Structure 1
Amino acid sequence: MFEFSPTRSKWEQIAETVADRVKSGELRPDDKLSEVELTEEFGVDRKTVRKAVAALRADRLVVTRTGMGSFVTHPSERGEQ
């Protein structure tokens, strides 16, 4: 299980971990982020995962499509090349 630092909120640490996965290529453009899988992986409730996904969306690393879920954006959508 993921080891959280007690000095920062869990949602921030989850967002940072997922962002690192996107930037490293472990998560690729159009990969779907499953709230259920993230909840299980990090051992947190869905509300915490949703807050992390909202932060990723604000950083343009993911896009959420109503009724479909959240997906990793393409580098061009993030302003990267």
Structure 2
Amino acid sequence: MMEFDPTRPKWQQIADVIRQRIASGEYPARHLVSEVRLESEFGVARTTVRKATAELRDEGLIVTTRGMGSFVSDRNPPEGERQGAE
């Protein structure tokens, strides 16, 4: 379990970890970002995880579809897959 910095809200620290995982490719495009798994992994309440995912959604890093879950956004497809790229 992660050791949290007591000077920052837990949800911000969780959002930072998810951002790093997206940037590193550990969470590729269309990867399911499971609130249940994150809740268990970090030992926090679901509301804490939801604050983190809301922040990432606002940044455009994840997309949430009601009834399906939250997924890493496709906003930065690989070079060969870009449509209209010049």
Tell whether the structures are fold-level matches, with TM greater than 0.5.
yes
1:35 corresponds to = 35
TM-superposed deviation, 1:11: 0.2
For residues 15-38 of structure 1, give each alpha carbon's deviation from its aligned partner in whole angstroms, at most 9, with x where no partner exists.
Answer: 010001001101000000111100
Runs of 4+ in 1 over 3 A off after TM superposition: none
TM-superposed deviation, 1:74: 1.5
**What amino acid is the match of 1:30?**
R
2:73 corresponds to = 73
Give the match's secondary structure for 2:7.
Answer: coil
2:50 corresponds to = 50
Name the Cα RMSD after superposition.
Answer: 1.4
Report the structure, 1 or 2, having the larger helix content.
1
TM-superposed deviation, 1:75: 3.5
Gaps of 5+ in 2: none
Gaps of 5+ in 1: none
